[in-house]
Amino acid sequence: MTDNSSKPECPVGEEICGHIDGLSVLRSRIDELSRLVHTDTLTGLFNFRHFSMVLEQELERTRRSGRPTSLVMMDLDHFKQVSDRWGHESGNRVLRQSGELITQVLRRVDIPCRCGGEEFALILPGTPLARAVHVAERLRISLSETPVALDGCELQVTASFGVNVYLRHSTITPAQFVEETDAFLYQAKAQGRDRVCHPDFESVKPKGQVGRSEKDALLGD
């Protein structure tokens, strides 16, 4: 004789409860698929698809609210040499550890993404230029001071950064904003790597055209 006393009775009938359970499982699977579509499986960060979607949303929010959105583009230095010398899996280990360090430095509201290969993009909502540069510097130092263990050796990893800010008066497209930020990243590479490059105050907007509120947004006052 089977004892079903431990199984609670369904108040609306077994058939309806069965449908509800099935819908719950389906919803869980849909949520998981949605997460996978927007997540880089290697690092656990968001992927390029998510980056493109969220960046457009945040820039539109800046145009409406006036709160700046900063973007940090990061590229690991000499990463191809690491993969060539130590192997593909060792390269993956470097990428995973870099992703972990990024997560440790950023706030919960920030959006860290891996765009592909060794390139990462960090969207910092409501963040002025000066604070974004500070975040990039913290991450640069954290990377350089946290070696990756590879086959009994410790590999020092460095990265180059480009930082840019989007303000309410900005008229460029999201793609152009990324291109401008990438240009600062390339500048960091050209100057010797392991550094942060960004626009100075004068280069963001011509002198005399900047209001006090925009100046505060730029400098983080």
Q: How far apart are CA 55 and CA 39, in angstroms?
A: 15
β 69-76/119-125 pair status: antiparallel
Catalytic residues: 118
Rounded to the nearest angstrom, the gap between the alpha carbon of residue 84 and the centroid of all alpha carbons in its chain is 26
Encoded tokens for 128: 């002025």
Residue 91 three-state SS: helix
DSSP 209: S
Q: For tokens 């730029």, what's the residue?
A: 218
CB burial of residue 185 (10 Å; 0-12, 13-18, 19+): buried
Q: How far apart are CA 215 and CA 221, in angstroms?
A: 8
